[in-house]
Amino acid sequence: MKKTIKNLFTPRISYTSNKRLKMSLSEADKAKIGRGRMWSAEVTDLLTNKRYKVEGAACSFPSCFCDAVIVGEELEKNLITEAEYDKLLEKDQEAEV
């Protein structure tokens, strides 16, 4: 049985990376996320209880901001390494099987 994450949010871990962090957001945090325009918000991942500052980011289309990226040095201590991210993905994929 495949586990569904409520209010799934998958921002890139940096502007220079294509790796994404899988988060579950509260309804209040979900309402902070803007699409199609520049935005910035602090959100809490309900899966880990870690807070992140995120902002809208451009995708590959000109003037489209449908993507998101994790930013903000004040919350940097909560960022995970790429190796930790890969381990989380492996665990999630194993749980889906």
Vertex 33, ends 61 and 46: CA angle to 5°?
125
Return the pLDDT at 54: 92
Vertex 46, ends 82 and 66: CA angle to 5°?
65
Please state, for a pLDDT cut of 70, what percent of the chain lies above it: 69
pTM: 0.65
Low-confidence ranges of the chain (pLDDT < 70): 1-3, 36, 62-63, 72-86, 88-89, 92-93, 95-97
CB atoms within 10 A of CB 54: 25
Return the pLDDT at 60: 75
Q: Tell me, what amino acid is at 77?
A: K
In the chain, where does DSSP find H-type helix? 27-32, 82-96
Q: Look-up: residue for tokens 């890139």?
A: 12
Strand bridging mode 23-24 / 50-57: unpaired
